[in-house]
Structure 1
Amino acid sequence: MSFFPARINDDLKLHARMDRRRLLSAGILLAGASSMPASVAAATSSGAKAKKVYAHWHWFPTSFDNWPADKDQYADYMSPDGTQGKLRAEGGFVRERPLPRPPRPEANWAVLDMLDEIKAARHIGLDGFLFNMGGIDDGSPYMIHLRNMLEAAKQGPPGFEVILSIDTVILVKTPVDAIADAILKLARNSHVARQSDGRLILGAFSPEQWDVGRWKELLQRLTASGEKVFFYPTFLDVRRTIDFMDLIDGASMWGVDKLSDIPLLKKVGKLAKQAGKVWASVVWPQDFRPHNRWFSECHNSELFRASWAAAMEIGSDAVNIATWNDYSEGSEIRPSTSIQYAFYDLAAFYIAWFKNGTMPPITEDVLYYFHRIESTEAAGTGSAQPFRFATNLVSRFADPPQNDIELLAFLKEPGELTIVTAKGAKSLKAKAGITSFRIPLVPGKVSFRLSRGDASVIDLPSAFEIRETSAYQDLLYHGGSSSRPPV
């Protein structure tokens, strides 16, 4: 079933069809400070302002319809019979959702949901959302979400910004004047992001989809209307960056959803900075797209951590996290049903590290875990699918699948780490600091321990059992931590 009018369903179909990789190859439960590990909470309160971190906001709000979780649009998206059964072979549109909330009684429930999102984002140190504009008509779901976001920002914590970012793929045939008029109207809002000199920050996803002449026309139209622009696009095909060098003031790049992309990320970032452009490095947690029948291997939490390390190594001016909420690509960091708060809390730690230039002190022992709930090679999984999910559209460009259980430990002093599976226990003596401990994925229940001497410090069972059979593959990395109970 569908709770959307035809117009919104049409936009959803367009979004579902749009595969960004194909272009290249050919309520939320608000985290209180008391719930966050002490080391992270202390780090995020430092007030560093020089470097900015934004998260890409794309399409998926806390709730589409304010219905109960078992009957709402997300339930439809997660069902093989949802979306009128068009994705039955794939097992549905998405594999997880924002943490459900009860229906809200207020008429402005969507604004209140957005306010909760902004508070949650600001709580971990995010400076704002980079909003993907896939529609400019007043009735477009994109514009509805954007208006809700800007309204919520008025009521939210101070300093939260919204960067307008044009989705060139969707708006490729939209007249330039119409796009300019929409931007000029939105630019009147005080929460739309600007540079310190007053220039409007304008982003764009895959600017290379438009020719340079179209961009010049848009920028000239905005300038003629009195709106000076700081043009800050996110390139999909970074080889085209050179074609736009005279137009852009800064740049970022999409992709980098596997470890083998990190050297390219560093190279492009260094070149952009050498050219005198502001550079926003990109950070991905993972990438799994069941509706496109493929996934990218992120090695548990390693891609996320390596992306942050790359941003700091090259001296990035900013970071764009991809994404806050793109459930169609499985790249969300917002607290959700499968990843829980794992990437969200890690983001708090790394945002503080990036902004302050030094690693935050670890004042509390915290264990995180990351693992899939089935092996990519398990023969009994995906029994209802007529195909197996692949690693990328063009397999020779993909990183090979890894099937590991990871225990990521933040220790205030040395200790012994143990991962317990149906095949027994494996242990590692760890130093103080951050330690990643991996063992092969094993079906059944799994738990994690920290001990010192004969004393057990933390005993943490995973909230997710690893299975050997399934009707539809779920290759999302699931997560959790000792600092929060599973939701």
Structure 2
Amino acid sequence: MLEETELEKERRLSAPLADQKRVIAHYMTGMLYHRGMPRKSANLRSEMYDPCGPSAKVGGLVQYRSMLAAYGEGLSIDESAAMEIRAAKKLGLDGFQFFYPLGDSEDMMAYYNQVVSAFFRVVIKEEIDFKLTLCLCNPRQHEKSERDKIAHWKKWIQPLISEFGSSDAWLKTPGERFVFFTWCPDALSDAVDQHWMIGRQPELIRHSAGAYQRLAQNLGVDIAYVYHLRFQDRPEVVEAALDHFPAIWGWTDSYAEDDPWEGIAKRCRVRNRSYTQTVYPDHYGSKVYPRKKGSRMLFYLKDVLALGVDGVERKIQVCGLSEVYRKLLERAVKVDACMINYATWNDYPEGHHLAPEVNHNYAFALLLKHYKRLWLGESPEPGEFACVFFKKYAHDVKASHFHYQIKVTKALASADVEDGIEVVCYLKNPAELLVNGVSRGQVAGGLQRRKFAMERGQVRVQLRRAGVDVIDFTTPEGMTDQPYRTDRLTYAYSSEFDRLHQEVFQGRFRPLVSDEYALDSDGQANWRSRYKLQEP
């Protein structure tokens, strides 16, 4: 262990971040669906899922269909927040860190505070063991000085601290410091114009740390900041971050056997810093961008329609179905991370959501809860389960009506690694696995993974012992060789869907399902009779 410097002692950089292990999810603050919710961005509008709806000219702008959105739009803001907290706890989360940008819009910041306040009110009133905090995001406003930026953030953060600061609902260190996350944080300082400058000049991180220290002083509270570490493959950047911040986290970086994060966890132990592990289940966006390099995301439907399907692109990571997710969770266990950061609870437009939705359903949550038990050193789950993961069609198939260009931003392997049916199951004892009625051999006890070739239509998974099925379920959705629109979200389902849906929503709502490529009695995919699309 290295000897503490005066700076480390002054800022308590070596003090522990957490008094217990927790899973904290990033929450997109503007995506709490409730009565009267402002929805200016087309990516927030549920009706944009419908290929025959307002965005019919581009085959439906969004690819997700959130259950929380459907159930929450008629609720008050506090009722909706309560529903989301209960859902999150049932699915393995212990808290939220709220997306909190340095916003230009007074209306937006006022609304974000309304949302955050609603969550605090619910946690406090109902005495729920669920932690809340902020993620200070990308203060890149070139026309403003550091002083102006700090004053702007103070204007909005101070009321939250004044009203709720003494509550146990805040995520705090054992020493009662507030824990705030950061994302692309460095441009708060006058010395850093763009956060990418850190990759070339890691010495600038000290200016970033100083700016955040001054923000804490202006707020009148002590804050332990979790630094968003980018350029993690550059040791000098890692060391500079550990010189000036007590904890680090990553974002949606694809797993690879030779990536540097495990080594960074070791450096955190040597430097007496807190290593937190980020995990994410999927990464395919409903967001669309002009094909021109460097273009920013299109927020409004009129702008998308002006360019058309041929003028825009979507982004994807090749995550190997559940492989990246499982490997990241395994890493959290292996390095004994002090916290797991979940990216994300509800960023549906980027496709890495855990929240109940018709594609991800509850399968990713089952795996989170399994690995969380290992991470916490708890006994294995009492029951058995099986999950299935697949893409709706093979990577090289083109959509017939609405074919979007896809930009691969990161990849575990070549795209064909996701062409298959992946079954992940947890068993107490060995069992025979059948997929679509065909025996696929014996599966041992414990957590096991098997992969098979894609087949048209729905997937039936059975696990059988002594001629009796102990697990038997069929996915509502199927696979196809003739998709009508580009849709690369990973589809997931499990043997525990009905039970979890009942527990999460207390029997109040019937589940929504995706079944466009399930086959009807004539052997045709449902979308053909459901949507009256003109032949291309």
**What range describes the TM-score normalised by the shorter chain of this pair?**
0.7 to 0.9
1:126 counterpart (68, 93, 113): 93
Distance 1:244 1:363 in 2: 42
Q: Which amino acid aligns with 1:74?
A: R
1:125 Cα deviation from its structure 2 partner: 4.2
Q: Which amino acid aligns with 1:121?
A: A
Q: Deviations over 1:237-259 (max 9, x none)?
A: 33434333333111111122x33
Secondary structure of residue in 2 paired with 1:472: coil
Distance 2:347 2:217 in 1: 32
Q: 1:88 to 1:281 in 2, by over 3 A?
A: farther
Q: Which amino acid aligns with 2:325?
A: F
Secondary structure of residue in 2 paired with 1:334: coil
Q: 1:341 to 1:142 in 2, by over 3 A?
A: same
Q: 1:314 to 1:270 in 2, by over 3 A?
A: same
Contact 1:95 1:474 in 2 (8 A): no
Instruction: Kindly report which structure 2 residues correspond to 1:328-407, keeping only aligned pairs within 5 A, or say none.
Output: 328-356=349-377, 358=378, 360-379=379-398, 381=399, 383-385=401-403, 387-392=404-409, 399-401=413-415, 402-407=418-423
1:468 Cα deviation from its structure 2 partner: 1.9
2:210 counterpart (201, 207, 216): 216
Secondary structure of residue in 1 paired with 2:23: strand
- Aligned identity (percent) is 19
1:388 Cα deviation from its structure 2 partner: 3.2
Larger CA deviation: 165-174 vs 401-410: 165-174
Give the match for residue 318 of structure 1: 339
Q: Deviations over 1:383-427 (max 9, x none)?
A: 323x432322xx7x663112111111111211001111xxx7251
Instruction: Kindly report which structure 2 residues correspond to 1:446-457, keeping only aligned pairs within 5 A, or say none.
Output: 446-457=459-470
Structure showing greater radius of gyration is 2
Contact 2:183 2:227 in 1 (8 A): yes
Q: Deviations over 1:191-238 (max 9, x none)?
A: 232212121112111224443435413412422653112111222333
1:151 Cα deviation from its structure 2 partner: 2.1
RMSD (Å) for aligned C-alpha atoms: 3.0
Contact 2:457 2:477 in 1 (8 A): no
Secondary structure of residue in 2 paired with 1:462: strand
Distance 1:236 1:151 in 2: 34
Secondary structure of residue in 2 paired with 1:463: strand
Distance 2:230 2:408 in 1: 19
1:111 counterpart (71, 78, 99): 78
Secondary structure of residue in 1 paired with 2:277: strand
Residue 97 (str. 1) matches residue 94 (str. 2): no
Distance 2:465 2:283 in 1: 36
Instruction: Kindly report which structure 2 residues correspond to 1:104-183, keeping only aligned pairs within 5 A, or say none.
Output: 109-135=76-102, 139-140=107-108, 141-168=111-138, 173=144, 175-183=149-157
Q: Deviations over 1:20-52 (max 9, x none)?
A: xxxxxxxxxxxxxxxxxxxxxxxxxxxx97212
Distance 2:495 2:137 in 1: 39
Q: 1:454 to 1:325 in 2, by over 3 A?
A: same
Give the match for residue 269 of structure 2: 273
Larger CA deviation: 130-139 vs 456-465: 130-139
Q: Which amino acid aligns with 2:386?
A: L
Residue 203 (str. 1) matches residue 181 (str. 2): yes
Give the match for residue 49 of structure 2: 78
1:186 counterpart (160, 165, 171): 160
Secondary structure of residue in 1 paired with 2:413: coil
1:349 Cα deviation from its structure 2 partner: 2.3
Q: Deviations over 1:346-374 (max 9, x none)?
A: 22222222122x5x324323221111222
Residue 286 (str. 1) matches residue 282 (str. 2): yes
Residue 63 (str. 1) matches residue 33 (str. 2): yes
Give the match for residue 327 of structure 2: 306
Distance 1:170 1:81 in 2: 38
1:139 Cα deviation from its structure 2 partner: 2.7
Distance 1:465 1:332 in 2: 21
Distance 2:112 2:265 in 1: 30
Distance 2:45 2:141 in 1: 26
Secondary structure of residue in 2 paired with 1:159: coil
TM-score (norm 2): 0.71
Distance 1:168 1:448 in 2: 44
TM-score (norm 1): 0.78
Contact 2:177 2:222 in 1 (8 A): yes
Distance 2:71 2:156 in 1: 34
Distance 1:122 1:450 in 2: 29
Q: 1:66 to 1:399 in 2, by over 3 A?
A: farther
Secondary structure of residue in 1 paired with 2:81: helix
Contact 2:343 2:353 in 1 (8 A): yes
Distance 1:426 1:49 in 2: 48
1:171 Cα deviation from its structure 2 partner: 6.0
1:91 Cα deviation from its structure 2 partner: 4.4
Secondary structure of residue in 1 paired with 2:478: coil
Contact 1:74 1:97 in 2 (8 A): no
Instruction: Kindly report which structure 2 residues correspond to 1:395-474, keeping only aligned pairs within 5 A, or say none.
Output: 399-401=413-415, 402-420=418-436, 425-474=438-487
1:90 Cα deviation from its structure 2 partner: 7.8
Contact 1:414 1:432 in 2 (8 A): yes
Q: 1:104 to 1:179 in 2, by over 3 A?
A: closer
Give the match for residue 227 of structure 2: 233
Secondary structure of residue in 2 paired with 1:285: coil
Contact 2:459 2:474 in 1 (8 A): yes
1:337 Cα deviation from its structure 2 partner: 1.4
1:471 Cα deviation from its structure 2 partner: 2.8
Q: 1:128 to 1:433 in 2, by over 3 A?
A: same
Aligned residues: 422
Distance 1:171 1:192 in 2: 28
Contact 1:164 1:192 in 2 (8 A): no
